[in-house]
Structure 1
Amino acid sequence: MTDPLPAVLARFEWSRMPAMTDLWVEAWQETIPEIDFEARRGWLCHRIGTLIDEGAVIEVALGAATPEGGDGPLLGFVSVHPATGYVDQLVVHPDHWGEGVANRLVAAAVAHSPACLTLDVNEQNERAVRFYEKAGFTVIGHGMNPTSGRPTLRMERRAV
């Protein structure tokens, strides 16, 4: 993995949800522009609540603090369920793709579930599949996204 962009990891707070939703929509619109992710904002908010209720941990990556001492901009976020190692969301703002933010978020997920991480990724998202492979994930199965109907890959990363 490459050296991460200087970023601070912080735990999820509901006050960050609007910025997380904006980031999620922008990242997915860039990845699969033919799907209207703007219309799915409500789904993400509900999904985050469900993940938290189920025991998932959500960490956010923040850029450098403002001169006034406030939080820096939201660069990305990851959700992982420590008991199962399932990564439901790993999202980085498109302006920061390739800068190490995703590596930093994978490391955060590993810290919560060191033995094994699993996730599903859209098969057509070749950039993400390549990233996960470089991060030590391997394909262990195939599936279908229940919302979009698109093929997915189940990937796993075991402790080394």
Structure 2
Amino acid sequence: MRTDSPVVLRRATAADAPAVADVYLRSFTAALPTVVRPWTDDEVRAYIRDVVVPHRDTWVAVHTGNHGSASGSGEVVGLMVLDGALLSQLYLAPEWRGRGIGDRFISLAQQRSPHGLTLWTFQVNEPAHRFYERHGFTAVEFTDGSGNEEREPDVRYVWRP
């Protein structure tokens, strides 16, 4: 798939944290309207600023406009967080879905964890199920949600090369 203009994947920096939080919040709200978030927007912003960006393997998709620059300038339109073989977060700004950015993030995750990946997604998130299954992930466990902070039934997916 192609994007309308250049999008670069790169490591997140401290300066990206506010935009990363915005993408997460907007994406979560759009994709999961029935799932109750256990944190306020301010708590999410602080967690992303203080924990996710500085201490996790955090990647961003940056729309560089017509500049093609990977220097950090541009609009953050997606994020991916890896924790070893766990793909812990993958969110795109709602208006950037369907443009191949998620595919590029999955390819990057598979390159960084060539022996396999695992992830969790909510059972109500059917588009995510289709997306991950299209990329070779298999559902291996379904829960009642008692193990996650949202208390929402979820499913664990695994990818093995």
TM over 0.5: yes
Aligned to 2:40, the other structure's residue is in SS state: helix
How far the C-alpha of 1:146 sits from its partner, in A, is 2.0
Aligned to 1:98, the other structure's residue is in SS state: coil
- With structure 1 as the length reference, what TM-score do the two structures score? 0.83
Give the Cα–Cα distance (whole angstroms) in 1 for the partners of residues 153 and 123 of structure 2. 6
How far the C-alpha of 1:7 sits from its partner, in A, is 1.6
Please, which runs of 5 or more residues in structure 1 have no aligned partner?
Answer: none
How far the C-alpha of 1:4 sits from its partner, in A, is 5.0
How far the C-alpha of 1:66 sits from its partner, in A, is 5.8
Deviation track 1:32-77 (CA, whole Å, cap 9, x = no partner) reads 2245658244135426744567x6311111112465x662211101
* Identical-residue share of aligned pairs (%): 25
CA 59–4 in structure 1, closer or farther in 2 if over 3 Å, else same: farther
Matched, 1:127 2:130: no
Report the equivalent of 1:98. Answer: 98
- With structure 2 as the length reference, what TM-score do the two structures score? 0.83
Give the Cα–Cα distance (whole angstroms) in 2 for the partners of residues 87 and 48 of structure 1. 19
Aligned-residue Cα RMSD (Å) equals: 2.5
Give the Cα–Cα distance (whole angstroms) in 1 for the partners of residues 141 and 21 of structure 2. 29
Please, which runs of 5 or more residues in structure 2 have no aligned partner?
Answer: none
How far the C-alpha of 1:142 sits from its partner, in A, is 1.5
CA 138–45 in structure 1, closer or farther in 2 if over 3 Å, else same: farther
Contact 1:4 1:103 (8 Å CA) reproduced: no
Equivalent pairs counted in the alignment come to: 154
Matched, 1:146 2:139: no
CA 22–47 in structure 1, closer or farther in 2 if over 3 Å, else same: closer
Give the Cα–Cα distance (whole angstroms) in 2 for the partners of residues 129 and 61 of structure 1. 21
Report the equivalent of 1:46. Answer: 47
User: Which amino acid letter does the alignment assign opposite residue 57 of structure 1?
Assistant: D
Match of 2:83 among 77, 81, 85: 81
The range that moved more, 55-64 or 93-102, is: 55-64
How far the C-alpha of 1:96 sits from its partner, in A, is 0.9
